[in-house]
Amino acid sequence: MAKHQSIRLSTLQLRFWQILLLVIVLTAWHFAAQDRNFAFFFGQPVEVAKVIWAWFVTNADIYHHLGITLSETMLAFVIGTVAGLAFGLWLGLSPGASALLDPYITAANSMPRVILAPIFGMWFGLGIWSKVALAVTLVFFIVFFNVYQGVREVSNTLLDNARMLGANRKQLLRHVYIPSATSWVFSSLHTSVGLAFVGAVVGEYLGSAAGVGYLILQAEGTLDVNTVFAGIIVLTLFALILDLMVSVFENRMLAWRPKAGETAKM
Q: Encode pLDDT of 10-38 as tens digits.
A: 778 888 888 999 999 999 988 998 888 88
Q: What is the pLDDT of residue 225?
A: 92
Q: What is the pLDDT of residue 155?
A: 61
CA angle 63, 67, 71 (to 5 degrees): 175
The answer to whether the beta carbons of residues 181 and 88 sit under 8 Å apart is yes
Domain ranges of the chain: 1-32, 44-265
Sequence-distant (≥ 6) Cβ neighbours of residue 56 within 8 angstroms: 62, 63
In the predicted model, what is the mean pLDDT of residues 58-71?
88
CATH code for the domain defined by 44-265: 1.10.3720.10
Higher pLDDT, 117 or 67: 67
Q: How far is CA 252 from CA 180, 189, 192, 256, in A?
A: 16, 15, 19, 9
Residue 47 amino acid letter = E
81-106: pLDDT as tens digits? 889 888 888 887 787 887 888 888 88
- Please state, in angstroms and rounded to a whole number, the distance separating the CA atoms of residues 156 and 171: 15
CA angle 166, 174, 141 (to 5 degrees): 140
pLDDT of residue 124 exceeding 80: yes
131-149: pLDDT as tens digits? 899 899 888 988 888 888 7
Sequence-distant (≥ 6) Cβ neighbours of residue 226 within 8 angstroms: 43, 44, 47, 48, 50, 51, 219
Q: What are phi and psi of 126, to 5 degrees?
A: -95, 10
- Please state, in angstroms and rounded to a whole number, the distance separating the CA atoms of residues 253 and 257: 9
The answer to whether the beta carbons of residues 92 and 152 sit under 8 Å apart is yes
Residue 89 amino acid letter = L
147-206: pLDDT as tens digits? 887 777 666 666 666 666 666 666 666 666 666 667 777 777 878 888 888 888 888 887
- Please state, in angstroms and rounded to a whole number, the distance separating the CA atoms of residues 189 and 174: 20
Q: What is the pLDDT of residue 229?
A: 92
Q: What is the pLDDT of residue 52?
A: 92
In the predicted model, what is the mean pLDDT of residues 125-136?
87
Q: What is the pLDDT of residue 217?
A: 87
Q: What is the pTM of this model?
A: 0.77
208-266: pLDDT as tens digits? 778 888 888 888 888 889 999 999 999 888 888 888 888 787 677 665 555 544 444 44
Q: What is the pLDDT of residue 264?
A: 42
Q: What is the pLDDT of residue 28?
A: 93
Rg of the Cα atoms in the chain: 23
Q: What is the pLDDT of residue 1?
A: 53
Closest CA to 93 of 178, 182, 185, 162: 178
